[in-house]
Protein backbone atom coordinates (compact mmCIF):
# COMPACT_ATOMS: atom_id res chain seq x y z
CA UNK A 1 0.00 0.00 0.00
CA UNK A 2 1.15 3.53 -0.79
CA UNK A 3 2.79 5.05 2.32
CA UNK A 4 1.00 8.33 1.63
CA UNK A 5 -2.20 6.55 2.69
CA UNK A 6 -0.84 6.04 6.21
CA UNK A 7 0.70 9.51 6.36
CA UNK A 8 -2.73 11.10 5.82
CA UNK A 9 -4.55 9.13 8.51
CA UNK A 10 -6.04 10.90 11.51
CA UNK A 11 -5.59 8.88 14.70
CA UNK A 12 -3.37 8.74 17.79
CA UNK A 13 -0.62 6.88 15.92
CA UNK A 14 -0.26 8.97 12.78
CA UNK A 15 -1.60 12.43 13.54
CA UNK A 16 -2.32 15.17 14.00
CA UNK A 17 0.92 15.63 15.91
CA UNK A 18 1.56 12.10 17.22
CA UNK A 19 3.15 11.76 20.64
CA UNK A 20 6.75 10.66 21.03
CA UNK A 21 7.08 6.91 20.51
CA UNK A 22 8.66 4.49 22.99
CA UNK A 23 11.77 4.45 20.80
CA UNK A 24 11.87 8.25 20.81
CA UNK A 25 11.52 8.32 24.59
CA UNK A 26 14.41 5.87 24.93
CA UNK A 27 16.56 7.99 22.62
CA UNK A 28 15.79 11.14 24.63
CA UNK A 29 16.78 9.40 27.87
CA UNK A 30 20.05 8.36 26.22
CA UNK A 31 20.75 12.06 25.60
CA UNK A 32 19.76 12.78 29.20
CA UNK A 33 22.22 10.21 30.55
CA UNK A 34 25.07 11.58 28.45
CA UNK A 35 24.28 15.15 29.53
CA UNK A 36 24.35 14.16 33.20
CA UNK A 37 27.68 12.38 32.74
CA UNK A 38 29.18 15.43 31.02
CA UNK A 39 28.12 17.82 33.81
CA UNK A 40 31.14 16.74 35.84
CA UNK A 41 33.35 17.81 32.91
CA UNK A 42 31.84 21.29 32.80
CA UNK A 43 29.39 21.00 29.91
CA UNK A 44 27.24 24.16 30.08
CA UNK A 45 23.56 24.07 30.93
CA UNK A 46 21.50 25.81 28.23
CA UNK A 47 20.31 29.29 29.09
CA UNK A 48 17.59 29.23 26.45
CA UNK A 49 15.49 26.47 24.91
CA UNK A 50 13.63 26.73 21.61
CA UNK A 51 11.33 24.08 20.19
CA UNK A 52 9.01 23.46 17.32
CA UNK A 53 5.35 23.33 18.42
CA UNK A 54 5.04 19.57 18.02
CA UNK A 55 4.60 17.21 20.96
CA UNK A 56 7.46 14.96 19.92
CA UNK A 57 10.01 17.78 19.91
CA UNK A 58 8.82 19.43 23.14
CA UNK A 59 8.83 16.06 24.91
CA UNK A 60 12.31 15.34 23.59
CA UNK A 61 13.61 18.58 25.09
CA UNK A 62 11.93 17.93 28.45
CA UNK A 63 13.28 14.39 28.74
CA UNK A 64 16.76 15.35 27.52
CA UNK A 65 17.08 17.77 30.45
CA UNK A 66 14.95 15.98 33.02
CA UNK A 67 16.65 16.27 36.39
CA UNK A 68 19.01 18.94 34.99
CA UNK A 69 16.71 21.81 34.07
CA UNK A 70 13.18 20.41 34.11
CA UNK A 71 11.53 18.35 36.81
CA UNK A 72 12.44 17.76 40.44
CA UNK A 73 15.62 16.77 42.17
CA UNK A 74 18.68 18.15 43.91
CA UNK A 75 20.53 18.66 40.63
CA UNK A 76 17.85 20.74 38.90
CA UNK A 77 18.86 24.36 38.39
CA UNK A 78 16.77 26.62 40.60
CA UNK A 79 16.28 29.32 37.99
CA UNK A 80 14.74 27.60 34.97
CA UNK A 81 16.15 29.04 31.73
CA UNK A 82 13.92 30.56 29.10
CA UNK A 83 11.99 27.95 27.11
CA UNK A 84 9.98 29.12 24.11
CA UNK A 85 7.86 27.33 21.53
CA UNK A 86 8.22 28.84 18.06
CA UNK A 87 5.04 28.61 15.98
CA UNK A 88 6.30 28.31 12.44
CA UNK A 89 9.99 28.55 11.73
CA UNK A 90 11.30 25.53 13.64
CA UNK A 91 8.35 23.30 12.82
CA UNK A 92 8.35 20.39 10.40
CA UNK A 93 7.69 21.43 6.84
CA UNK A 94 4.23 21.19 5.30
CA UNK A 95 4.32 18.26 2.94
CA UNK A 96 1.61 16.39 1.07
CA UNK A 97 -1.11 16.69 3.71
CA UNK A 98 0.83 14.53 6.17
CA UNK A 99 -1.16 14.74 9.40
CA UNK A 100 1.95 14.23 11.56
CA UNK A 101 2.92 17.76 10.52
CA UNK A 102 -0.26 19.34 11.87
CA UNK A 103 0.18 20.63 15.41
CA UNK A 104 -2.28 20.37 18.28
CA UNK A 105 -4.23 23.32 19.63
CA UNK A 106 -2.63 26.13 21.59
CA UNK A 107 -4.77 25.16 24.61
CA UNK A 108 -3.44 21.58 24.54
CA UNK A 109 0.18 22.74 24.29
CA UNK A 110 -0.19 25.30 27.08
CA UNK A 111 -1.84 22.79 29.42
CA UNK A 112 0.42 19.84 28.60
CA UNK A 113 3.76 21.65 28.51
CA UNK A 114 3.63 24.47 31.11
CA UNK A 115 7.44 24.51 31.25
CA UNK A 116 7.49 26.28 27.88
CA UNK A 117 6.33 29.76 27.00
CA UNK A 118 4.36 30.17 23.79
CA UNK A 119 5.48 32.99 21.54
CA UNK A 120 3.05 35.88 20.79
CA UNK A 121 0.73 35.40 17.82
CA UNK A 122 0.35 31.66 18.38
CA UNK A 123 -3.17 30.82 17.18
CA UNK A 124 -5.50 28.26 18.77
CA UNK A 125 -5.71 26.15 15.62
CA UNK A 126 -2.88 25.33 13.24
CA UNK A 127 -3.22 27.84 10.41
CA UNK A 128 0.01 26.74 8.70
CA UNK A 129 -0.81 23.12 8.02
CA UNK A 130 -1.45 22.47 4.35
CA UNK A 131 -4.92 20.96 3.95
CA UNK A 132 -4.87 20.61 0.17
CA UNK A 133 -1.38 19.37 -0.65
CA UNK A 134 -1.15 22.15 -3.22
CA UNK A 135 1.39 24.28 -1.35
CA UNK A 136 4.29 22.11 -0.27
CA UNK A 137 7.05 24.15 1.35
CA UNK A 138 10.27 24.26 -0.66
CA UNK A 139 13.81 24.24 0.68
CA UNK A 140 14.29 27.79 -0.59
CA UNK A 141 11.37 29.00 1.54
CA UNK A 142 12.51 27.01 4.55
CA UNK A 143 16.04 28.41 4.31
CA UNK A 144 14.59 31.92 4.53
CA UNK A 145 12.52 30.95 7.57
CA UNK A 146 15.46 29.31 9.32
CA UNK A 147 17.72 32.30 8.69
CA UNK A 148 15.03 34.67 9.94
CA UNK A 149 14.45 32.79 13.19
CA UNK A 150 18.19 32.43 13.87
CA UNK A 151 18.66 36.16 13.25
CA UNK A 152 15.78 36.82 15.63
CA UNK A 153 17.30 34.66 18.36
CA UNK A 154 20.82 36.03 18.00
CA UNK A 155 19.56 39.62 17.92
CA UNK A 156 16.95 39.50 20.68
CA UNK A 157 17.93 36.73 23.07
CA UNK A 158 20.09 38.58 25.58
CA UNK A 159 21.65 35.36 26.80
CA UNK A 160 23.55 35.01 23.53
CA UNK A 161 24.41 38.66 22.97
CA UNK A 162 26.45 39.43 26.07
CA UNK A 163 30.06 40.35 26.56
CA UNK A 164 32.12 41.22 29.59
CA UNK A 165 35.02 43.58 30.23
CA UNK A 166 38.32 42.14 31.39
CA UNK A 167 40.43 44.43 33.54
CA UNK A 168 43.25 45.49 33.46
CA UNK A 169 43.83 44.10 29.95
CA UNK A 170 40.95 46.27 28.68
CA UNK A 171 39.77 43.75 26.16
CA UNK A 172 36.37 42.34 25.39
CA UNK A 173 35.83 38.61 25.60
CA UNK A 174 32.99 36.50 24.34
CA UNK A 175 30.37 35.41 26.83
CA UNK A 176 29.89 31.69 26.29
CA UNK A 177 26.29 30.53 26.47
CA UNK A 178 24.41 27.43 25.43
CA UNK A 179 21.19 27.48 23.42
CA UNK A 180 19.27 24.25 22.85
CA UNK A 181 17.04 23.96 19.77
CA UNK A 182 14.72 20.98 19.33
CA UNK A 183 13.50 20.68 15.76
CA UNK A 184 13.02 18.12 13.00
CA UNK A 185 15.48 16.37 10.72
CA UNK A 186 14.84 18.54 7.69
CA UNK A 187 14.95 21.74 9.72
CA UNK A 188 18.13 20.67 11.50
CA UNK A 189 19.81 20.02 8.15
CA UNK A 190 18.89 23.51 6.97
CA UNK A 191 20.12 25.08 10.23
CA UNK A 192 23.53 23.55 9.58
CA UNK A 193 23.41 24.68 5.97
CA UNK A 194 22.42 28.27 6.79
CA UNK A 195 25.19 28.50 9.41
CA UNK A 196 27.76 27.14 6.98
CA UNK A 197 28.46 23.90 8.84
CA UNK A 198 29.65 20.80 6.95
CA UNK A 199 26.84 18.59 5.76
CA UNK A 200 26.31 15.65 8.09
CA UNK A 201 23.29 13.44 8.45
CA UNK A 202 22.05 13.39 12.03
CA UNK A 203 20.38 10.16 13.22
CA UNK A 204 16.87 10.26 14.67
CA UNK A 205 17.11 11.32 18.30
CA UNK A 206 20.63 12.60 17.76
CA UNK A 207 22.24 15.84 18.92
CA UNK A 208 24.83 18.00 17.23
CA UNK A 209 26.78 20.86 18.79
CA UNK A 210 27.95 24.02 17.05
CA UNK A 211 30.17 26.86 18.24
CA UNK A 212 28.96 30.16 16.77
CA UNK A 213 30.42 33.64 17.05
CA UNK A 214 27.65 36.23 17.07
CA UNK A 215 27.95 39.98 16.53
CA UNK A 216 24.62 41.76 17.09
CA UNK A 217 23.82 44.31 14.40
CA UNK A 218 23.47 46.94 17.13
CA UNK A 219 27.17 46.49 17.87
CA UNK A 220 28.29 47.02 14.26
CA dist 43 and 26 (Å) reads 22
Residue with the larger pLDDT of the pair 204 and 113: 113
pLDDT at 62: 92
pLDDT at 25: 94
pLDDT tier for residue 164 given thresholds of 50, 70 and 90: very low
Lowest mean pLDDT among 84-88, 116-120, 187-191: 84-88
pLDDT at 29: 94
SS3 for the chain, per residue? CCHHHHHCCCECCCECCCCCCHHHHHHHHHHHHHHHHHHCCCCCCCCEEEECCCHHHHHHHHHHCECCCECCCCCCCCCCCEEEECCCCCCCCCCCCCHHHCCCCHHHHHHHCCCCEECCCCCCCCCCCCCCCCCCCCHHHHHHHHHHHHHHHHHHCHHHCCEEEECCCCEEEECCCCEEEECCHHHHHHHHHHCCCCCCCCCCCCCCCCCCCCCCHHHC
Mean pLDDT of 84-92: 72
Q: pLDDT digits over 133-158, tens only? A: 545 667 787 888 888 888 888 877 76
pLDDT of 73 strictly over 60 = no
Average pLDDT of every residue of the chain: 75
pLDDT of 22 strictly over 60 = yes
Lowest mean pLDDT among 54-63, 67-76, 87-96, 205-214: 87-96
pTM of the model: 0.78
Strand partners, 179: 48
pLDDT at 28: 93
CATH architecture of 3-219: 3-Layer(aba) Sandwich (3.40)
Lowest mean pLDDT among 21-30, 40-49, 152-161, 203-212: 152-161
Lowest mean pLDDT among 4-8, 115-119, 122-126: 4-8
Amino acid sequence: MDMSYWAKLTDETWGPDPLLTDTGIEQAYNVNNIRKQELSYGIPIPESFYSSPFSRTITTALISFEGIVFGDGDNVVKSVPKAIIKEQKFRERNYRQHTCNMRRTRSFIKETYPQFEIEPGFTEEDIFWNTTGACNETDDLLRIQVREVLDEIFENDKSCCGCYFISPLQRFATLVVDIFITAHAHTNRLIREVLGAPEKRMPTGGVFAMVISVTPSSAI
